[in-house]
């Protein structure tokens, strides 16, 4: 597999995860205390109080980490174009000026279906914002592997720089770790230079132990990011699940030296959600995991609430959400 470099912010280059053969001893006997994970997660939004200019700074950072997403059955080229315009200017210029930002904000990426990739690439040309595409039979992942790999190659050929794949959940539920590893490794190879985000669809995996083990297998197979959910499951991103994945990410890094990214997605809608997940990353992994090359938030409606909170900070007034449209 590849062992290339990916550039972090400020010239802090990361060595890209090269993948490795399946190593069961790294996770086979892992145990997860669900009650303890839930207690730890419950403290994240209560132990730390972030107010005023500090809160505004955290919310600005959250904007830079958003994968602005549209994954609707009625997506059109026009809708994608409007979303990309919002990605270029996620916060109104007058609010940015009052915040004293020297450079214009932009989001981490725009995420769309493969058929919409050409429209997003065209709309984002020159912005430096990557296009992320879901693939591999999103959201169920139940199409034949040959077709899933072809879908990845199509999206990459059309200009996607990031591919959000979905795993075959049955392999986790049956503990068939070799099959899961081999499929993700094949997807990683199909991505080429495009980064692979492995969506675990954690709401379908039944236990936090399964979540931990699937996270480890995905990283062993070469995933650049691990991601909670498609947004289509009955249960999507939760803090206990995210804590479990982040602990797996930390354990993998300690054993291999690779820094792997994390992306919660599904059900994150408010500025408070953004703060809670940023606090999780800061407390569990440190400041480095608040940058968009290691942390993304899969969301759309969240951005409107963040912009509304930032307007309140600079004006002292809350505007209606309709004053902060997505496009």
Beta strand pairing call for 13-15 and 5-7: antiparallel
Catalytic residue among 106, 227, 259, 293: 227
Identify whether 106 is a catalytic site residue: no
CA distance 48 to 238: 19
Whether residue 162 contacts residue 131, with contact meaning beta carbons closer than 8 Å, is answered with yes
Helix (H, G, I), strand (E, B) or coil at 165: strand
H or E element in which residue 123 lies: helix 117-124
Catalytic residue among 67, 86, 263, 293: 263
Whether residue 124 contacts residue 87, with contact meaning beta carbons closer than 8 Å, is answered with yes
* DSSP summary character for residue 249: H
Strand order in the sheet with 297-299: 261-263, 225-227, 195-199, 162-166, 131-134, 109-112, 66-69, 297-299
Burial label for 287, CB within 10 Å (0-12, 13-18, 19+), is exposed
Catalytic residue among 67, 164, 204, 273: 164
* DSSP summary character for residue 4: -
Whether residue 227 contacts residue 249, with contact meaning beta carbons closer than 8 Å, is answered with no
Identify whether 263 is a catalytic site residue: yes
Identify whether 4 is a catalytic site residue: no
Burial label for 38, CB within 10 Å (0-12, 13-18, 19+), is middle
Sign of the torsion angle spanned by Cα atoms 203, 205, 211, 216: negative
Question: Which residues does the annotation mark as catalytic?
Answer: 164, 227, 263
């Amino acid at each position: 597999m590849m062992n290339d470099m990916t550039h972090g912010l400020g010239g802090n280059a990361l060595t890209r995860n090269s993948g490795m053969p399946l190593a069961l001893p790294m996770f086979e006997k892992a145990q997860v205390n669900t009650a303890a994970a839930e207690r730890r997660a419950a403290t994240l939004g209560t132990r730390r109080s972030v107010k005023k200019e500090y809160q505004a700074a955290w919310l600005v950072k959250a904007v830079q980490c958003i994968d602005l997403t549209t994954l609707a059955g009625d997506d059109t080229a026009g809708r994608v174009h409007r979303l990309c315009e919002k990605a270029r200017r996620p916060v109104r210029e007058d609010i940015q000026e009052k915040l004293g930002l020297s450079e214009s904000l932009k989001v981490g990426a725009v995420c769309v279906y493969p058929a919409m990739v050409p429209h997003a690439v065209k709309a984002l040309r020159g912005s430096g914002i990557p296009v992320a595409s879901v693939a591999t039979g999103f959201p169920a992942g139940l199409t034949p592997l040959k077709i899933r790999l072809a879908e990845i190659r199509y999206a990459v050929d059309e200009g996607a720089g990031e591919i959000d794949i979905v795993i075959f959940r049955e392999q986790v539920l049956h503990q068939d770790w070799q099959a899961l590893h081999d499929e993700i490794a094949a997807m990683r190879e199909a991505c080429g230079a495009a980064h692979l985000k492995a969506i675990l669809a954690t709401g379908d995996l039944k236990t936090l132990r399964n979540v931990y083990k699937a996270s480890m297998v995905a990283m062993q197979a070469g995933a650049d990011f691990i991601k909670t959910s498609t947004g289509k499951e009955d249960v999507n991103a939760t803090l206990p699940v995210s804590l479990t994945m982040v602990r797996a990410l930390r354990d993998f890094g300690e054993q291999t030296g690779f820094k792997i990214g994390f992306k919660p997605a599904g059900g994150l809608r408010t500025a408070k959600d953004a703060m809670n997940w940023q606090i999780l990353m800061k407390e569990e992994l440190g400041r480095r995991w608040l940058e968009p090359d290691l942390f993304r938030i899969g969301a759309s409606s969240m951005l409107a609430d963040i912009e509304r909170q930032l307007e309140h900070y600079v004006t002292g007034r809350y505007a209606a959400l309709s004053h902060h449209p997505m496009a």
